[in-house]
Amino acid sequence: MFSDYAFNIRDLRRVIAVAEHRSLRQAALALEVDQGTLTRSIQALEHALRIPLFERMRTGARLTAAGVAFTKIAASVLDGMDEAMLLLRLRHNGVTGTLRLGVQASFASGVVANLLEQYQAEYPDVDLQIMDGPGEILLRDVLASRLDAAIVIAGEGWHGQAIRLGKERVLAAVARDHPLAVRAAVTWLGLSGYLLTLPRRGAGMELRKLALRHGMLPERILFHDTAIDRLLALARHGDKILLVTEGATGIRMDGVVFRPVMDGSGPATFDLALCWRDGESDPVLARFVELVRRTQGDDASFPDAGADDV
């Protein structure tokens, strides 16, 4: 059994210094400590281990077989500590770690895609974990600390921190040979004669509420539990119309075109917002919020979803 001697990093460094210099005097000079202090430190460690680490000779100090084994272990420990300290500093500075981000709307392109691309370029060592889902559930997960933050369609009921990211248009995805495809834009009235399909996850519920407010009948709105790319494939082969937010236009699907949906005042849009908890102090999230604040005034770069195919 070991004595009550308390090991520390300093002892390991001193053993390695003596081993490298093969001299207590030279090691003491390199470490800038008194030779007597260094000698007592090595002796106390040997006493605690009950193993001689060095053979004292007139020409210096030489490692014993046990000392060779000990210095290998000590070097490994020190390397691990150095790496741990580096990672801790990086984590403290927000340049490594994990960011758990909920995203409600599609982000194959658009303001969210641009933001995430810039973030990953600036902080490539952060593990960015994206979860999708309805905005209500994502915000609930933020409050429960299952997510660090969420990008959702802005609305009522959130009382934590938030930054508005900009607007995204509502688009109708239709087959290239669909009667509405020849138009530069479509209206809610023009959509009323067709079946609308929506994804149940993501922005589906907000799109449904918007369609209902503009006179669409509930029975003409269909939900599907599948991804946007599969719904686009369905739109390509039928007369059903898929409503999406603008970020979905980055998903390329042959035979499908996107047309902006117009209401009485212009294009139908949603405001997007980044939301996080009050009092949140995670450094990785702080860096992300800093980036959002830095870029929120920039003009969002969206693909043209007007008369030309996108």
Which of 234, 233, 248 minimizes the C-alpha distance to 170?
248
pLDDT digit string, tens, across residues 14-64: 899 999 999 888 999 998 999 999 999 889 888 888 889 998 887 788 899
For all residues of the chain together, what is the average pLDDT? Answer: 86
What is the reported pLDDT for 91? 64
pLDDT at 300 over 50: no
pLDDT for 161 beyond 80: yes
Q: For residue 234, which of 210, 262, 253 has the smallest C-alpha distance?
A: 253
Query: For helices 283-295 and 65-92, what crossing angle results, to 10°?
Result: 40
Taking the alpha carbons at both ends of the chain, their separation in whole angstroms is 74
Higher pLDDT pick, 255 / 90: 255
Joined together, the tokens standing for residue 80 give 């691990």
Higher pLDDT, 4 or 309: 4
pLDDT for 242: 93
Tokens of 224: 């599907």
- Mean pLDDT over residues 266-283, rounded? 89
Question: Could you report the per-residue pLDDT of 103-159, keeping only the tens digit for each?
Answer: 998 888 888 999 999 999 999 989 999 998 889 999 999 999 999 999 999 887 888
Give the SS3 label for residue 23: coil
% of the chain with per-residue pLDDT over 90: 47
Taking each helix axis from N to C end, the angle separating 135-143 and 204-213, rounded to the nearest 10 degrees, works out to 130
Residues 213 and 261: their CA atoms lie apart, in Å, by 14
Instruction: Give dist(CA 71, CA 228) in Å, integer.
Output: 58
Q: What does the radius of gyration of the chain's CA atoms come to, in whole angstroms? A: 31
If pLDDT is split at 50, 70 and 90, which confidence band does 225 have?
A: confident
Q: Structure tokens of 23?
A: 């001299």
* 176 pLDDT higher than 60: yes
- The whole-number pLDDT of residue 305 equals 37
Burial of 308 (0-12, 13-18, 19+ CB in 10 A): exposed
- Given a contact cutoff of 8 angstroms between Cβ atoms, the answer to whether 104 and 133 are in contact is yes
**Mean pLDDT throughout 272-284?**
87
Q: What is the per-residue pLDDT for 5?
A: 57
Read off the tokens for 64. Answer: 């014993």
Quick check: 153 and 105 in contact, CB under 8 A? Answer: yes
- The residues with which 169 forms a beta bridge, in sequence order, are 269
Q: Which residues contact 45 (CB under 8 A, 6 or more apart)?
A: 5, 7, 11, 15, 53
Q: In the numeric block, which tokens belong to residue 188? A: 């809610």
The whole-number pLDDT of residue 115 equals 93
